[in-house]
Structure 1
């Protein structure tokens, strides 16, 4: 069944798309690293470029051209080396460590791998503020050439590498011709799959990760189904654990809320009792004062002398 072509729409270089493109560049140094052996091999570079273009087209869901890849690569390299130049100028100015230029490019750290493909000052020297004059001059010249001259097209690069074929070893040429011949005998889909696997093997070899027991293994439908079922089962268990934990958390919250309500009710009851005791005490004190006042008035009345007009004088 033929795959429907991706919709033709302009590519938006969002940060997500750019970071994915940077990761693809890291996986395929033959596209940008002039120190890489595969950089001078036309077929391998072409395969790497096609792989990047295919992967990125699927990721961003639109059809890309070679010029889109080379233009973005040139833009990233230009921005990165502009920041590098600013750092070096800051160091050469004698500024203190705290006053050194801070890169403003958001993906500056992600692009440090580009230094592996150029004869530039090491990152450790940049961090320590120590630079080699000869390396610095050479890197500034390279940086100037990067910013002034446009990035050559893939066709021009391939033609240039083809002219340098005489400098390649016979074994490299034989391998290149062999791969090219074998690819021509495959269908379009098989070519894409073979290119993808070839780039993966070359990348692992370049990183020193290949071993004698490495081999290409086809994953059949049954194994895929088993893996899918195992994944679904694991997801189900994870969801059950999450639901159970959520239920326990809810019960714990409800229990805590009940305890908090009881504590609050007990506090209100205690305050109400204290208020009632205060009122009772005030009432008792008022009654006691009234009783004492009454007793005092009664005692005064009983002890007062007779009225002088009530006395009679008896003559002698």
Structure 2
């Protein structure tokens, strides 16, 4: 029977942590849903961030709101980059066999934020390009 290495245990633990973070984030639309009535309410956003940090501190006791904002920004940036790459291939008329599979293990978990992307036409191209509406964590 093969033993699990310490690095594999840490990687699984980090994946579980990120999965929980994404789940908690999805449950707080005031942090990511631009059309939410609470999106521009700083008090509600702050309370939501504190709620998420409180839940995550059970796993990582030193976790802070600053670290949470950093993690969310990294997750959103990586998702947005991957989403744009995949959608760009679809729009360009590439055959479905040539459209890349997402490389991010959490791509499908973050798919709820895709509705916050807007297809924008650029003056130099007739191809639409997905762009982020705004950074939801900026205060």
Q: What SS does structure 1 have at the residue aligned with 2:38?
A: helix
Quote the residue 1:278 is aligned against: none
- Report the alpha carbon displacement of residue 42 of structure 1 after superposing the two structures with TM: 1.8
Instruction: Give structure 1 regions of 4+ aligned residues with deviation exceeding 3 angstroms.
Output: none
Between the aligned partners of 1:52 and 1:93, the Cα distance in structure 2 is 39
Quote the residue 1:55 is aligned against: 55
TM-score by length of 2: 0.76
- Report the alpha carbon displacement of residue 61 of structure 1 after superposing the two structures with TM: 3.6
Quote the residue 1:67 is aligned against: 66
- Report the alpha carbon displacement of residue 89 of structure 1 after superposing the two structures with TM: 2.2
Residues 208-237 of structure 1: CA deviation (Å, up to 9, x unaligned):
xxxxxxxxxxxxxxxxxxxxxxxxxxxxxx
TM-score by length of 1: 0.35
Between the aligned partners of 1:82 and 1:21, the Cα distance in structure 2 is 20
Quote the residue 2:118 is aligned against: 120
Q: Does 1:28 align with 2:58?
A: no
Q: CA RMSD in A?
A: 2.4
Quote the residue 2:38 is aligned against: 38
Q: Whose Rg is larger?
A: 1
Alignment of 1:207-246 (within 5 A): none
Q: Considering fraction of residues, name the structure with more helix.
A: 1
- Report the alpha carbon displacement of residue 94 of structure 1 after superposing the two structures with TM: 2.2
Between the aligned partners of 1:79 and 1:119, the Cα distance in structure 2 is 14
Between the aligned partners of 1:52 and 1:108, the Cα distance in structure 2 is 20
Between the aligned partners of 2:114 and 2:85, the Cα distance in structure 1 is 15
